[in-house]
């Protein structure tokens, strides 16, 4: 099992996009700066999508313009098509994340086109990004189940993975968009992906909708995944996935991993403080447990 795991913080995008109200740009910028201060090196800062469909992300360009650029940090913009890619590059993202959905029905609901068309758009974007020297990653949504089509055959997930792999992505992420996965499924999917696509860097994205998110994350680490997505405070969802609540909380994940001897490079106390700040900024409690319970053992400064 890997002794270190990289975390992609998705709270500013996956988290804030499902907020009922629009969070002010200045608060988003402060949130991202605090996350980076706590040691997170890859942050999904926004998405470049239709502002009519996702009004919470309408200030994508302004968020990028407000950030202090730091060496060694990936500022990831999520895109769904070529238009979004062009906006993200113009705004200064140094990493692009694109999503396609394993389920054709879900892909149509989310992106207005079928999976095949999204894969074709990804392959074009991947070429452009390579030429421009921008890191490009691809996420396969609904890999663990679909709200419209039900169970997702592993063969279908592998087929989509093989096709997106033709774009030579930095990594391929497999997302449990609606939080239905269980650890046995995680082991099966990543085991079969590793067989089908040896050497490809793997990433996992879990939602905690049915309280299996952290168990799935641990199973993914055991299955050889290099990178896990999570959101500070466990905020998050998908406006197009019914009842898709909360990503796995970054603080809870860091606690689980560090106490298990898996390094993350994240300062847990600073991250918990950011979760507390986030509760104030949103004006409501966040789902994550460490923000409520605190770490253990207590840091030595507080032990006396
Ligand atoms: Zn998500």
From the CA of 206, how far away is ligand 1's center (Å)? 7
Q: Provide the 3-class DSSP secondary structure of residue 230.
A: strand
From the CA of 137, how far away is ligand 1's center (Å)? 15
Residue 304 lies in a domain: no
Res. 146: pLDDT tops 70: yes
- The answer to whether the beta carbons of residues 62 and 42 sit under 8 Å apart is no
Residue 136 lies in a domain: yes
Measured CA to CA in angstroms, residue 168 lies from 129, 160, 191, 263 at distances of 11, 14, 20, 27
Residue 267 lies in a domain: yes
User: Mean pLDDT over residues 61-84, rounded?
Assistant: 97
From the CA of 14, how far away is ligand 1's center (Å)? 6
CATH number at residue 28: 3.20.20.70
Residue 114 lies in a domain: yes
Q: By C-alpha distance, which of 239, 225, 265 is closest to 13?
A: 239
Residue 301 lies in a domain: no
Res. 241: pLDDT tops 70: no
Q: By C-alpha distance, which of 46, 49, 40 is closest to 9?
A: 40
Work out the pLDDT band at 304, boundaries 50, 70, 90.
very low
Exactly one of 93, 146, 232, 238 is catalytic; name it. Answer: 238
From the CA of 49, how far away is ligand 1's center (Å)? 15
From the CA of 193, how far away is ligand 1's center (Å)? 20
The verdict on whether 238 is a catalytic residue reads yes
Residue 298 lies in a domain: no
Alpha-carbon distance of 135 to 137, in angstroms, equals 7
From the CA of 298, how far away is ligand 1's center (Å)? 31
Residue 300 lies in a domain: no
Which of the 8 DSSP states describes residue 264? -
From the CA of 238, how far away is ligand 1's center (Å)? 6
Work out the pLDDT band at 260, boundaries 50, 70, 90.
very high
User: Mean pLDDT over residues 176-189, rounded?
Assistant: 97
Q: What is the pLDDT of residue 238?
A: 58
Q: What is the pLDDT of the chain when averaged over all its residues?
A: 94
Alpha-carbon distance of 13 to 139, in angstroms, equals 14
**Residue range 92-128, pLDDT digits in tens:** 999 999 999 999 999 999 899 999 999 999 999 999 9
**In the chain, pLDDT over 70 holds for what percent of residues?**
96
From the CA of 300, how far away is ligand 1's center (Å)? 36
Q: What is the pLDDT of residue 239?
A: 57
Domain count, the chain: 1
Alpha-carbon distance of 192 to 201, in angstroms, equals 14
Q: What is the pLDDT of residue 125?
A: 98
Dump strand ranges (E) for 185-259: 202-206, 227-230
29 phi and psi angles, rounded to 5 deg = -60, -45
Q: What is the pLDDT of residue 244?
A: 56
Which residue range(s) make up the domain with 243? 6-293
Residue 123 lies in a domain: yes
């Amino acid at each position: 099992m890997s002794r270190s795991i990289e975390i992609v913080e998705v709270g500013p995008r996956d988290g804030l996009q499902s907020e009922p109200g629009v969070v002010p740009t200045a608060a988003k910028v402060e949130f991202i700066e605090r996350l980076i201060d706590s040691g997170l090196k890859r942050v999904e800062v926004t998405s470049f999508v239709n502002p009519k469909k996702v009004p919470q992300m309408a200030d994508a360009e302004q968020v990028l313009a407000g950030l202090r650029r730091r060496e060694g940090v990936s500022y990831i913009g999520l895109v769904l098509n070529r238009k979004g890619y062009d906006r993200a590059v113009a705004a200064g993202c140094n990493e692009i994340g694109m999503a396609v959905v394993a389920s054709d029905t879900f892909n149509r609901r989310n992106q207005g086109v079928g999976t095949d068309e999204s894969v074709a758009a990804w392959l074009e974007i991947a070429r452009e990004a390579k030429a421009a020297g921008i890191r490009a990653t691809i996420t396969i949504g609904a890999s663990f189940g679909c709200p419209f089509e039900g169970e997702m055959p592993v063969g279908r997930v592998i087929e989509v993975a093989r096709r997106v792999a033709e774009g030579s992505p930095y990594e391929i992420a497999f997302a449990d968009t609606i939080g239905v996965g269980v650890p046995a499924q995680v082991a099966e999917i990543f085991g079969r992906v590793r067989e089908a696509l040896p050497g490809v860097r793997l990433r996992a994205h879990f939602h905690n909708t049915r309280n299996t998110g952290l168990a799935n994350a641990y199973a993914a680490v055991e299955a050889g995944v290099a990178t896990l997505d999570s959101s500070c405070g466990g905020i998050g969802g998908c406006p197009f996935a019914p009842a898709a609540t909360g990503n796995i909380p970054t603080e809870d994940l860091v606690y689980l991993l560090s106490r298990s001897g898996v390094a993350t490079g994240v300062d847990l106390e600073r991250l918990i403080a950011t979760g507390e700040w986030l509760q104030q900024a949103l004006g409501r409690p966040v789902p994550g447990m460490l923000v409520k319970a605190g770490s253990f053992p207590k840091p030595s400064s507080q032990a006396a």
